[in-house]
Amino acid sequence: MSVSIKQTLDVKKGTVDGVEKSIVQACRLVASQARALTPVDTGNLRSSIGYTTVLEKDGELTTTPKKMVGYVGTPVSYGIYQEFGTRRMAPQPFLRPAAGALAAGSENATVKKIMFNAMKTYEGGF
């Protein structure tokens, strides 16, 4: 189970490295927040949360990312049941709220700053 972080802007070639770096930063933030939100019994689910991007990998996710895409998730089979629940178990989401916090919260300012700096370094501006 994983959530993906995609950069959907039409970016110029000179900004791709900066965008990739901002995606790594976003993945780090989402993974960190997801670990904090994960319900703990044995700690296996929490310790399995990782991310993967073209530039960097943390954890055991087997997804191979494309350019300007990052994945945050867990390879643990019961992660999806924790996230969405079952007929007999209420959901205890950790990935979706973590991604939502990045999109809506103060952490987003960090990613915006990285994006702005990446765009600023492109010759000719934006």
Percent of the chain with pLDDT over 90: 29
Give dist(CA 2, CA 78) in Å, integer. 12
Provide the pLDDT confidence category of residue 70 given band limits of 50, 70 and 90. Answer: confident
Contacts of 86 (CB under 8 A, 6+ apart): none
Q: Where are the beta strands (DSSP E) in 40-108?
A: 50-52, 57-58, 69-73
**What pLDDT is attached to residue 60?**
74
User: In terms of pLDDT, which residue wins out, 73 or 69?
Assistant: 73
**What pLDDT is attached to residue 38?**
93
Average pLDDT for 72-82: 92
